[in-house]
């Protein structure tokens, strides 16, 4: 039978090495660390005391547009429809 683990999420990046030292393993599906239950309180304390990392730049967000042909699409930063090549509405 395997070890019982608890998933720790939140601002874990600044303390990831300490979480690894506590036996934590990254779970990409849960986007958190699976830590053995006996070390869960210590891992939670590390995450609670972690300094905030810089906010990520979300990048460009697409915009809704309606072309003269009547087509309704979401456009990228170049003004092209994100489904291109499609109906030719943006060419």
Residue 34 within any structural domain of the chain = yes
Residue 18 within any structural domain of the chain = yes
Domain that holds residue 13: 5-48
Distances (CA, A) of 90 to 25, 59, 65: 47, 22, 10
pTM for this one? 0.55
Count structural domains, the chain: 1
Residue 61 within any structural domain of the chain = no
Q: How far apart are CA 38 and CA 80, in angstroms?
A: 53
User: Chunked in runs of 10, what are the mean pLDDT values of the chain (91 residues)?
Assistant: 85 92 93 94 90 60 64 66 58 52
């Amino acid at each position: 039978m395997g070890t019982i683990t608890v998933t720790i999420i939140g601002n874990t990046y600044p303390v990831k090495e300490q979480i690894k030292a506590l036996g934590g393993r990254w779970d990409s599906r849960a986007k958190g660390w699976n830590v053995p239950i006996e070390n869960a309180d210590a891992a939670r304390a590390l995450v609670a005391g972690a300094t905030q990392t810089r906010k990520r730049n979300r990048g460009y967000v697409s915009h809704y547009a309606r072309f003269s042909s009547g087509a309704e699409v979401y456009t990228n930063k170049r003004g092209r429809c994100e489904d291109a090549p499609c109906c030719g509405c943006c060419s």
